[in-house]
């Protein structure tokens, strides 16, 4: 399957798997299927797919656990599939490091658009990693793009990929205000399927990790507009 990107489809409903397989193969991707959480982990390790479509309600290991295990060793893009569409599901998935979510039943065109957007973002990220080291330094804070590491007062912070990318982008553009839609497009790579809560959740998580003592910098909310990384002149 040289030259084709591989999508791992994880769902315990065989009919859904076969339907999604048809959609993604029609778009030129190679599809592989797992029907439970442990099988998903095994196939992820064996095949190193380019993207994972991951259902939440799975036998053996649920989607949350699969996402945790994938994120412990890889930045492979993950799109969560959920039949619920509940805010709790979306937020938890994003906090665990999922790149996107889509609610079943979904339109084929929307699913394909999500896949393309997430893969495009991952490719851009890979290109950035091949470039020279890019490290931002502020008082007590270091954000290194080449290693995806954040240090606060010398202590390494645990930060999932999308949290890191959001922090790096804002910190790289100090004192510039970005709307939620601009941040969705820049970090998640799509404009029309986003939920502004996605950005809010990530900002909240970042703040919990980097804020505390008085600093000459801060991740600020600009009410009615969006967010900025403010650095005192």
d(CA 131, CA 145): 10
Tens of pLDDT along the chain (233 residues)?
446 899 999 999 999 999 999 999 999 999 999 999 999 999 999 999 999 999 988 999 999 999 989 988 888 999 988 876 555 566 677 777 888 888 888 888 889 999 998 898 888 776 665 554 578 999 999 999 888 899 999 999 999 889 999 999 999 999 999 999 889 888 887 654 557 788 999 999 999 999 877 899 999 999 989 999 999 87
Q: In this structure, is residue 1 part of a structural domain?
A: no
Crossing angle, helix 196-210 and helix 87-95, to 10 degrees?
50
pLDDT value, residue 96: 79
Count CB neighbours of 154 within 10 A: 7
Domain end (from 73, 94, 129): 129
Could you tell me the CATH number of the domain that includes residue 179?
1.10.10.10
pLDDT value, residue 18: 93
88 and 120: one domain? yes
192 and 123: one domain? no
d(CA 4, CA 192): 26
145 and 227: one domain? yes
d(CA 212, CA 210): 7
Number of domains making up the chain: 2
Q: Which domain holds residue 93?
A: 6-129
d(CA 227, CA 233): 18
Q: In this structure, is residue 157 part of a structural domain?
A: yes
pLDDT value, residue 169: 94
Q: And the tokens for 51?
A: 């993207």
Domain end (from 84, 110, 129): 129
């Amino acid at each position: 399957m040289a030259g084709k990107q591989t999508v791992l489809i994880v769902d315990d409903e065989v009919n859904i798997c076969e339907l999604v397989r048809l959609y993604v193969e029609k778009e030129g991707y190679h599809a592989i299927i797992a029907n439970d959480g442990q099988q998903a982990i095994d196939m992820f390790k064996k095949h190193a797919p380019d993207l994972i479509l991951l259902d939440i309600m799975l036998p053996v290991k649920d989607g949350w656990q699969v996402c945790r295990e994938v994120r412990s060793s890889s930045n492979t893009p993950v799109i969560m599939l959920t039949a619920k569409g509940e805010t709790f599901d979306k937020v938890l998935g994003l906090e665990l490091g999922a790149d996107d979510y889509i609610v079943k039943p979904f339109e084929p065109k929307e699913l394909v658009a999500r896949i393309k957007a997430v893969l495009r973002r991952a490719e851009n990220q890979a290109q950035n990693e091949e470039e020279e080291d890019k490290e931002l330094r502020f008082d007590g804070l270091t954000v290194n793009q080449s290693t995806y590491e954040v240090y606060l007062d010398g202590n390494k912070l645990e930060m999932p990929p999308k949290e890191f990318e959001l922090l790096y982008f804002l910190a790289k553009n100090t004192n510039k205000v970005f709307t939620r839609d601009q941040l969705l497009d820049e970090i998640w790579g799509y404009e029309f399927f986003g939920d502004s809560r996605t950005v809010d959740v990530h900002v909240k998580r970042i703040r919990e990790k980097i804020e505390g003592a008085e600093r000459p910098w801060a991740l600020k909310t600009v009410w009615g507009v969006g967010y900025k990384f403010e650095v005192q002149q």
